[in-house]
Amino acid sequence: MKFTKLMFAVATLGLGVASAASSYSVKFYNDMWVGGTELKAGDYKVELQGDKAVFKTGKNVIEVPAALAASDKKYDFTSLVSVDKKLHEIDLGGTKSKIVFNSDVQSASGSK
C-alpha cells in the first residue's frame, strides 16, 4: 500500500513538472528565418523543450535548436531580435530570460 501511494505521488509530481513548461505567444509581421527554416508571417506559440524551441501555428509544428539564456534586466514585453529577416533571439516578457537561436544552424525539422 505504501509503495502504491509513493508511486502515485511520484507520478503526480512528474506530471506537474512536465506541465510547467511555459509557452509564449509571438507574432511575426514578416516572414522570418529561424535556423534553416522559414516561418511565414503570423501568430505562433513558442515553447522551449530541452535544446529545441518548438513553434506551433495551427497544425504546423516546427522544431529549431535553441537555448535559454539569462539577462541582467527584466523584459517588459516579449520581443524579437532579428537581423535581415533572421531571428537571433526572443526576449520573454515578464522574465529575465530569452530564447537564443544558434545562427550557425543550417537545418531544422518540422512536421505538418
Asked if pLDDT for residue 106 goes beyond 70, the answer is: no
Average pLDDT over the chain reads 79
Radius of gyration of the chain (CA): 17
What's residue 29's pLDDT? 94
Can you give the residue ranges of every domain in the chain?
Answer: 22-111
Q: pLDDT for 16-66, tens place per residue?
A: 344 446 889 999 999 999 988 899 999 999 999 999 999 999 999 999 999
Give per-residue burial for 62-80: e unless 16+ CB within 10 Å, then b.
bbbbbeeeeeeeebeebee
Say what the pTM is. Answer: 0.71
